[in-house]
Amino acid sequence: MVRSSVLGYPRIGADREWKKALEAFWSGKLEEKEFQARLQEIRLDHLRKQQEKGIDLIPVNDFSYYDHILDTAVMFGIVPKRFAYDGGAVPLSVYYGIARGTKDAAASEMTKWFNTNYHYIVPELDGASPTLTENKPLLAYREAKEKLGIEGKPVLVGPLTFLKLSKGYDKSETNAWLDRLLPLYVQVLQELANEGVQWVQIDEPILVTKTSDADLQLLNRIYETFAAAVPGLNIMLQTYFESVENYSDIVALPVQGIGLDFVHGATGNIQSIQASGFPADKILGAGVIDGRGIWKASLPGKLKLLDELAELVTPERLFVQSSCSLLHVPVTTARETKLTSELKNALAFADEKLDEIVLLTKALSSRSTEIIAEIENSDLTIQALQQSEERNRVAVQEAVASLRVQQPERSRPFAERHIAQQEKWKLPLFPTTTIGSFPQSAEVRKARQLWRKGELNNEQYAAFIRDQIDIWIKIQEEIEIDVLVHGEFERTDMVEFFGEKLAGFAFTQFGWVQSYGSRCVKPPIIFGDVAFTGEMTVEETKYAQSQTQRPVKGMLTGPITIMNWSFVREDIPREHIAYQLAYALRQEVEALEQAGIGMIQVDEPAVREGLPLKENEQADYLAWAVKAFRISTCTVQDTTQIHTHMCYCEFHDMIDSIEAMDADVISIETSRSHGELIHSFELNTYKLGIGLGVYDIHSPRVPSVDEMTSMIERALRVLDPKLFWINPDCGLKTRGLEETVASLRNMVDATKIARAKHVPTTV
């Protein structure tokens, strides 16, 4: 019998109940007992929903108190020494300390989960002595069975993926670390088997990336060990985000099922099955419903694909499932009352994807008239949107066609521009600046809410924003920051703000997804051709500049970041969407320059996360991503200084592309991974202006002057002092006023120490 399966469900709740509970607990407004009860209520509600929808294999242990990789680390007692953990079940104070930092200990590094906008906490293995602190998958299985009668499918992060995503050990120690971890995994699986668990999902997404012979040896060792230890337990080895590498080796592993992504890895996985077949003794987990996108599936096409797969593996050996966890999409479209019916009818969030999975599962077993009609009708809404005016802006399409064949360049190379800019701005050695945003207080959020409700008119709201700008211009001047920002108080989100002012975008009311920890974002939907409709940032930036003699940067979000942090249309290539955005942003850059703004920051924190997982596709992506940035910025004068910002990424494999963007100054988040990035610059010369973030803004702790001085000095070992800037590692929107001011004071004090040590005069 064909069965339906889901790889994971969103944690946050339709009203972000999860986020609100976490933040209430962190602020001391919620006692731990009540906090635990609230999270259990949310967790059970999610399970109940999947049960009522008719999902056969419901995931358990996909829920998390922060992050599933952190969960795996603490389950095995892998806690950095600085948190003074002394064994046993890891308390929430330590768990959240690892994620967020404490007064005395820095948080662990946070980075992107493959090529998504989700962030995980990087496990630190150095000095750890792994032990099973508690069997989290078993507890989750028991809870689902006892509370709801659900025969859950426990989800674990696989050993190879966990090791590959961890830090703090040498590659030569990999086998030794596997020796430590394997017995713990075996213990978890044996306890699950003894409990009567039927299926366990072991996630190994690392298998869609380049897999070495040594990796395959480790993989065989892992799953042969599992097969010997729990011969009666059904293991679904789950991959996602792309097609698997070394297909023949993977499907030969001694497991009962192999899960493949037939959305983002469709071409490669289908070719592999057609060329090599699929084992007759295994279940194929067919990930045909997109776990990352928000568009309705073309169900006739999906059913055709499943029919073709069923001929190769037989229907009874098929699980119809999502391509990956639904963690990456909003919860439901049911409450989206403000979208046009044309657009809303073409959307499918997590709950709607459950319906699609169940419908396709039924269709494989029964081709009733009712089911087939429902399948065929799914395409009608997609076709209606395709024919809309929003997707057929001829002027935009013609402009992009022209840009595609051009090579955008600044009029003079950086070395010449740098001289002209220094003559104009006369900045000191190691100029200080911030990334753009300042704390958005409850007062700021309330004013925006009142304005959106119409209780503040446009003039009143603009006056309020100017007041906030005045406050923070004075604070920046008093702290002695060299290059100022207006603070972005008028902006809710760095992508949403621009999407609201461009044509081709739509916005949900409740379309939240988790980015990291309790940080939830509501990505815009790029559903039509993007077009510039008027100035977006000029008013606030021009006002801020009028209040100070110091330069104020204009602040924009770059085309690749807007694209990668939005849900985008699927009917045209992403490259074309990027150029549409770049063309629109170029017009805003030019408007800022015409208004007298001579420094303009075009942030691209999401370039790295869009990098394809397959190496043979990466160069092409980076080429058009760089081109899109240059389209946005190439038309300015030589003395106009273009800044950009990137964060949360490993940059060693794309330093050349970063330099090719030809930004006059780039600031990079490095505080959680400072040593690794510095090593990149030891191996690669960087000839443009650069600021390496000297403190972590994601933690509430105030770093000391000595800490920041140490960061500065290490960077100056490999970077040209004449091109070096000093800044926090990211925007300060989520931080409090007192900690922000204290941290920036320390940053400026550390800068003064560095200036005195290197060159005590201006350059």
Backbone φ, ψ for residue 234 (5° rounding): -85, 120
Residue 19 marked in a binding site: yes
How remote is the C-alpha of 380 from its chain's centroid? Answer: 32
Query: CB–CB of 141/192 below 8 Å?
Result: yes
469 carries a ligand binding annotation: no
**d(C-alpha 504, C-alpha 519), whole Å:** 26
Residue 324 annotated in ligand binding = no
Query: Binding site annotation covers 435?
Result: yes
| H-helix or E-strand spanning residue 34 | helix 32-53
* 68, 643, 674, 698: the active-site residue: 698
Contact 652, 437 (CB under 8 A): no
Sign of CA dihedral 125, 127, 130, 134: negative
Question: Does 753 belong to an annotated binding site?
Answer: no
Interatomic CA distance for residues 471 and 21, integer angstroms: 32
134 is in an annotated binding site: no
Look up tokens 């073709």; give the residue.
308
Question: How many Å apart are CA 763 and CA 759, to the nearest integer?
Answer: 8
Q: How far apart are CA 696 and CA 701, in angstroms?
A: 9
Q: Is 474 annotated as a binding-site member? A: no
Q: Annotation-wise, does 575 bind a ligand?
A: no
- Contacts (Cβ under 8 Å, ≥6 apart) of 658: 646, 651, 666, 686
Helix residue spans in 314-413 (DSSP H):
341-344, 350-365, 369-386, 394-403
* Annotated binding-site residue? 355: no
Rounded distance, CA 77 to CA 762, Å?
51
Is 356 flagged in the annotation as binding?
A: no
Residue 552 DSSP label: B
Is 608 labelled a binding residue? no
In contact, 515 and 582? CB cutoff 8 Å: no
- With left for phi above 0 and alpha for psi between -120 and 50, is residue 127 left, alpha or beta? left
Any known ligand binding at 649? no
Q: Looking up tokens 């740098």, which residue turns up?
A: 418
Q: Which long-range contacts (CB under 8 A, 24 or more apart) does 265-273 make?
A: 265/208, 265/239, 265/240, 265/241, 265/323, 266/305, 267/243, 268/242, 268/243, 268/244, 268/614, 269/243, 269/244, 270/305, 271/243, 272/243, 272/244, 272/247, 272/248, 273/247, 273/309, 273/312
Q: State how far the Cα of 231 lies from the Cα of 402, in Å rounded to an integer.
A: 61
220 annotated ligand binder: no
Q: Is 560 annotated in some ligand binding site? A: no
Query: Is position 634 annotated in a ligand binding site?
Result: no
Say whether 117 counts as a known binding-site residue: yes
> Catalytic site residue 643?
no
**Residue 417 marked in a binding site:** no
Indicate the annotated binding residues for L-methionine.
Answer: 435-437, 488, 603
Indicate the annotated binding residues.
Answer: 16-19, 112, 117, 435-437, 488, 519-520, 565, 603, 609, 645, 647, 669, 730
Indicate the annotated binding residues for Zn(2+).
Answer: 645, 647, 669, 730
Indicate the annotated binding residues for L-homocysteine.
Answer: 435-437, 488, 603
Active site residues: 698
